[in-house]
Chain A
Amino acid sequence: MRFFAALVCAFLAFGNAFAEDLPPDVLIKNVSNEVLTIVRQDKDIQAGNTKKAMELIDTKVLPHFNFTRMTALAVGRDWRSATPEQQKLLVSEFRTLLVRTYSNALSAYRDQTLEFKPLRMGAGDTDVLVRSEVRQPGSKPVSIDYSLEKGPNGWKVYDVVVAGVSLVTTYRETFAAEVRTSGIDGLIKSLQAKNQAPLPAKAAK
């Protein structure tokens, strides 16, 4: 346990010291490889232990995401009419929802390989697209594109697009419909209800 804590601290220290200096594609590459190396060796995560996968994502992946921007993108126009308190709640609930989704997706990982496409980035760009592909023998490669922006704390991801589908803006219509019928608070309530539902049991196999 102490070892684990030390590891987390080491990572956080690493994150603070170097993450802002890393180019965006190197950052994504490093984080992905680190996470996949762990998943490859972890029988629990492979068997569908969602809690463990969530811990992994929490410590390794989340520090590199800008959840405020992601939530604003998902909520769209209604974001502006939310009070700061509502915005805070929205961000935290949306964050939980995405983490639960990702951790489920992680258990589906087997022996796919990741490939990165050359980064197109001009000097002084503060908004870039890092394009990658998941390759698996016998099936079409699946593209994963990360949108990143440069802020005071280095590059942060604000959108992930898998096979052309944004994990963020796909929510926009659902959220807008929710706000139309029951307001921002209604949206917060349904997010909370969704997040409080029990995690699905181990992969039904």
Chain B
Amino acid sequence: MLSLPLSTCLRSRSAALLAACALLSACASTANPRDPLESYNRAMFGFNEDVDKAIIRPVAKGYEAVTPQVMRTGVANVFSNIGDVWISLNNLLQGKPLDAASDMGRFLVNSTLGVCGVIDWASDWGLEKHDEDFGQTLGRWGVGAGPFVVLPIMGPRTFRDAVGWGVDMMADPVYEIQHVPTRNSAAALRLVENRAELLPVEKALEEAALDKYAYVRDAYLQRRRSLIYDGRPPRELDDESAIDSAPVAGIPLDAESAVSQLVMLRVNEQMAETQSALPKPSDPTE
């Protein structure tokens, strides 16, 4: 039911949505410079939450209840396996031939000895699974992230990652399946399996977030930034400038140190401004 509109409309919809967002951004006004589309995004986030609550989550819970763990692992492995070829290509495009070779090795081992990808032998043999997509490749090439945007059903993206995701879809083996019912079932199964994997952590998310939309947005942006740098992102500028000289709670500030704090604050701000004005080719997410 869900699979039909999803798989048939996704490609054209993403393009239409990008255009709509570009229009929206022209007239949107908000306090957060990292999120110019915030009012649209919040509305779409709410819509996605409703769809999740009404359809996707119940289906994922049902799937979790009736599917033995061994079978779920097999399903996840098959989808993971067919994704490894595209991951390999992206690693190659990012100038990481060793990782690319490892991904290709994974695919060959798991497709043959692993019975069409059901068993992930390659991980046991030390060929580690990587997480790459075309959005990350664009990031590596220095393409800026652009504004944050929440897509229908698919959820959070940056503009760059929305474009990357469009390319990922074109390379997605599931959408190459000619037999339409098979294709839609496969796409739906993958969506449900992915959602079911999130069931154990969603309670922690509810508990963590003061403002769920903002928390998900900022977690997503950090996660993407980390992925582009393969888990080793450089520290963000304001991490240290905002904190290092922060007074410790309980120690009262005297007038003199308060003044010096203020001076430091101004200096830090000016430094941050100067640095952000400079071109920073090393950080494509800025």
Q: Which of A82-132 contact B (CB under 8 A)?
A: 84, 87-88, 90-91, 97, 100-102, 104-105, 107-108
In Å, the complex CA distance between A153 and B38 comes to 43
Residues in B whose Cβ lies below 8 Å from that of A105? 201, 204
Q: Answer whether residue A183 sits at the interface, using C-beta atoms and an 8 A cutoff.
A: no
Chain B: CB-nearest residue to A204: B203
Q: How large is the interface on A (under 10, 10 to 19, 20 to 34, 35 or more residues)?
A: 35 or more
Stretch among A6-14, A55-63, A171-179 lining the B interface: A171-179
Which residues of B pack against A, CB within 8 Å?
31-32, 34, 72-73, 76-77, 80, 120, 128-129, 131, 197, 200-201, 203-204, 206-211, 214-215, 217-219, 222-223, 225-227, 231, 233, 236, 238-239, 242-243, 246-253, 261, 265
Q: Which of A130-168 contact B (CB under 8 A)?
A: 137-141, 143, 161, 163-167
B210 A200 Cβ-Cβ under 8 A: no
Residues in A whose Cβ lies below 8 Å from that of B250? 84, 87-88
State the Cβ distance, A34 to closest chain B Cβ, in Å.
21
Q: Answer whether residue A80 sits at the interface, using C-beta atoms and an 8 A cutoff.
A: yes
Partner of A88, one of B32, B76, B207, B249: B249
Partner of B251, one of A84, A107, A171, A194: A84
A177 B261 Cβ-Cβ under 8 A: no
Partner of B218, one of A140, A170, A194: A170
Q: List 7 A-B contacts (CB under 8 A).
A: A72-B242, A91-B249, A108-B200, A138-B77, A175-B210, A177-B211, A190-B210
In Å, the complex CA distance between A185 and B205 comes to 24
Residues in A whose Cβ lies below 8 Å from that of B222? 164-166, 169-170
Partner of A79, one of B34, B242, B251: B242
How many residue pairs, one in A and one in B, have C-beta atoms under 8 Å apart?
Answer: 120
Residues in A whose Cβ lies below 8 Å from that of B249? 68, 71, 84, 87-88, 90-91
Residues in A whose Cβ lies below 8 Å from that of B225? 164
Partner of A73, one of B31, B203, B239: B239
Contact with B along A5-23 (1 / 0, CB 8 A): 0000000000000000000
Q: Which of A46-64 contact B (CB under 8 A)?
A: none
Chain B: CB-nearest residue to A135: B123
Partner of A104, one of B72, B207, B231: B207
State the Cβ distance, A57 to closest chain B Cβ, in Å.
13
Residues in A whose Cβ lies below 8 Å from that of B206? 200
A100 B227 Cβ-Cβ under 8 A: no
A100 B215 Cβ-Cβ under 8 A: no
In Å, the complex CA distance between A107 and B128 comes to 27
B204 A108 Cβ-Cβ under 8 A: yes
State the Cβ distance, A103 to closest chain B Cβ, in Å.
8
State the Cβ distance, B155 to closest chain A Cβ, in Å.
15
* Contacts A80-B261, A88-B249, A174-B218 given; does A163 touch B223 at CB 8 Å: yes
In Å, the complex CA distance between A84 and B250 comes to 5
> Among the interface residues A172, A175, A180, which one has the most CB atoms of the partner chain B within 10 A?
A172
Chain A: CB-nearest residue to B64: A205
Partner of B239, one of A68, A169, A171: A169
Partner of A80, one of B120, B128, B227, B265: B265
